[in-house]
Amino acid sequence: MSTEIASSDVGKRQVKRFLSRIGFVAFLTLVSLFFALPMLWLVTAPFDANPTMSVGIPDWTLSNFQRVFENPQAMRAILNSLIIGIGTMVLVVILGATASYALSRVRIPGRDALLYSLLLLSSIVTGTAAMVPTFQLINVLGLINTQVAVILVITGGLLPTVIFILKDFMDSMPKSYEESARLYGAKPFQILMHVVTPVARPGIAFVAIWTIVQVWANFLVPFILLRSPELQPAAVVMHTFYTESGQADLRLISAFSLLYSLPVILIYFLVNRKFGFRFHGGIKS
Amino acid sequence: MTQVSAIAPGKAKPRRGRRAEDVAGLGKARASLFVAPSLLLIGMFLIFPAVWTVYLGMTDYRLTGVQAVDPQFVGFANYAEALGDSSFWHSLRITLIFVFVSGVAGQSLLGFALAWAVRNLKGIWKAIVEGLALAAWVIPSSVVAFLWIAMLDRRNGTLNTLLQTDGKAWLIDNPLLWIIIFNIWVGTAFSMQLFSSALAAVPPSQLESAKMAGAGGWQQLRDVVLPNIKGHLLTNTLLITLWTFNTFTPYLLTAGGPGNSTEILSVYIYKTAIPGGQLGLGAAISLIMLLINLVVALFYLRVGQGRKSS
């Protein structure tokens, strides 16, 4: 009697385990499909001789990419993204690194309060909430429709986060290198150039890549500040491609989408593998 | 993402006893000089606009015309206009629905479910699921928006082909629902990653002893996991709320339409101020948005501090 109950119990448990296993696999499959479905088009259409809005086995060709390379606006857009991205990156890295080093090593009054309030501010004063005053400020400064304006505005938004990341990094750097360099008579500037910079290189590289990824995808700031199509980065031109003319050129759009997305996807997965979870978030609008 | 650890209420790092020492001999004067350029830029392009909004919102600034050159001070007229306008309240209402359904509920729940589901998986399955969610998060928003436009296309869209519902215009029939689904798709990776690292930090010994005591999956989740990841839950909710509230990406998908059915607050501000040219009114609504952001952040900081002291 008791063994019967036990065995039926075991049977029930096995059925239950089997069912939960099926539920588990079904969940993962459904979720994977949900994420994959919109992306399929990005994988097939760029290689299709006659791409439509639907996903299908492509009529294999690379001529769509040729079309992008021959389109001056598309190439100009990628170049603009590079100019804005690298410009912002250089500014952010130089300003962020010097500021965070000073904040890490020198006890400036009110330092911690300053850092936290800046960080809080940067998450409250977002690109969307501050779009009107920023637009008006750039107007008044006479910088409207210039790439410098885009670089300055994005830099101001990213700097608090970057200083925070880099200060954390500099705090974890041993001070003994600088101490011994100083014992041997190195001047502060020499210490910065030849001791601190090489040791801080991983942190700086991380911030540089993070900045480029942020700027590359940023749509709102250039969308509001740049009017001339020849100044706009890929994020804005991509939007123009599919909203402007009546009949969208899907051959151009598909190949351009892939070329524009691929760098960040590659960077992201490489960096994510290397640095792990820290590489997330920021301004995404 | 360091912002996480920074804002995470009650998660401030324990201060080390070691005092900061100026080992390179920089000195306070030079150190201040190092910090000054950053502060100047942050001050000009982050803090000043926020403060200036207060003034702009009290003027009748316009993009063109007389008020562009010679704006008048109008006091609280803009606020009266905004608060008396049903389209503002409509925008606020759908923003709340958007934030709660797509962000707080959708992204957090799906992100947690994914993190929980793949926590013990190794190899290809984990890589596929996480990789797909991450790709959705990193592809630039203007591309992502077009991918969804293509998928939901009326005539040839993949969804209509799959469901054999040719001619169904999803973005016209249920626009709010689709920007909600779209936003879940875009943002779930963040919650998934955050909860993955949170789950990895749950002490295995506690899980083991719960299992030994015969706790099922749900019980383990409720009694062991959730108490351990409270801090992460709070951080996740704070960031998701702020980001979803401030996102502009749905504009790329629907441009606020059809009509004003997807005009969330960020899109409403944009349409009022820039194509609409009413900068003063736009600034007034911006200030309302900034204040909501501030309240949300302070609220979570408060809750976090309460947690820490108890």
ipTM of predicted assembly, 2 dp: 0.86
**Best interface-test mutation with B: which of A90, A124, A193 has the largest number of B CBs within 10 A?**
A124
Is there a contact between A185 and B31 (Cβ–Cβ < 8 Å)? Answer: no
SS3 B41: helix
Contacts of A103 in chain B (CB under 8 A): 31, 35
Contact of A131 with A220, CB cutoff 8 Å: yes
| Interface test with chain A among B7, B44, B46, by most A beta carbons within 10 Å | B46
Instruction: Name the closest residue on chain A to residue B291, using Cα atoms.
Output: A124
- d(CA A192, CA A197) in angstroms, rounded, equals 6
Chain A residues with CB under 8 Å of B98 CB are none
- CA closest to A215 among chain B residues: B140
Contact indicator for A213, A222 with CB cutoff of 8 Å: no
Residues in chain B closer than 8 A to A203 (CB atoms): none
Q: Does A213 touch chain B (CB under 8 A)?
A: yes
For residue A235, the surrounding DSSP H or E stretch is: helix A234-243
| Partner A contacted by B47 (CB < 8 A) | yes
> What pLDDT does residue A275 have?
64
Alpha-carbon gap: A1 to the closest alpha carbon of chain B (Å): 24
What is the distance between the alpha carbons of residues B199 and B121, in angstroms, rounded to a whole number? 13
- CB of A190 less than 8 A from some CB of B: no
Can you name the residues that pair with A60 across neighbouring β-strands? A48
Collapse the DSSP code of B13 into the 3-class scheme (helix H, G, I; strand E, B; otherwise coil) and give the result: coil
The residue to which tokens 């760098």 are assigned:
A263
CA distance A191 to chain B (A): 6
Token digits for B144?
Answer: 């992502």
C-beta atoms of A123 and B297 within 8 A: yes
pTM of the model: 0.87
Interface membership of B44 toward A (CB under 8 Å): yes
Nearest CA distance, A124 vs chain B (angstrom): 5
pLDDT score recorded for residue A163: 92
Tell me if A241 sits within 8 A of A256, measured CB to CB. yes
The pair of structure tokens assigned to A50 is 């006659």
Contact assessment for residue A257 and residue B146, using Cβ atoms and an 8 Å cutoff: yes
Site of tokens 């050159």: B69
pLDDT tens sequence across A83-114:
999 999 999 999 999 999 888 888 877 888 88
> In whole angstroms, how far apart are CA B57 and each of A168, B53, B100?
38, 6, 28
Indicate yes or no: CB of B147 within 8 angstroms of CB of A257. Answer: yes
Residues of A in contact with B3 (CB under 8 A): 119, 123, 161, 164, 281-282
Q: pLDDT in tens for each of the 310 residues of chain B?
A: 333 333 334 334 444 444 446 777 777 788 888 899 999 999 999 999 999 999 999 988 888 777 777 788 888 888 988 888 899 999 999 999 999 999 999 999 999 999 988 887 877 888 888 889 989 998 999 999 999 999 998 888 888 888 888 888 888 888 999 999 999 999 999 999 889 888 888 888 888 888 888 877 788 888 888 888 888 888 899 889 999 999 999 999 998 888 888 999 999 999 999 898 889 999 999 999 999 999 999 888 888 777 666 5
Q: Is B134 on the interface with A (CB under 8 A)?
A: yes
- Is the Cβ of A277 closer than 8 Å to some Cβ of chain B? yes
How many angstroms away from the CA of A127 is the closest CA of chain B? 8
**How confident is the model at residue A5, as a pLDDT?**
56
**Of residues A227, A267, A249, the one with CA closest to residue A74:** A249
User: How many CB atoms are located within 10 Å of the residue B136 CB?
Assistant: 22
Q: Pick from A93, A144, A101, A210: which is nearest to B68 by CA?
A: A144
Mean pLDDT score across all residues of chain A: 86
Flag if A285 and B49 touch (Cβ within 8 Å).
no
Which residue of A161, A165, A277 is in closest CB contact with B193?
A277
Give B206→chain A minimum CA distance, Å.
Answer: 23
Closest to A46 in 3D by CA, of B143, B155, B106, B57: B143
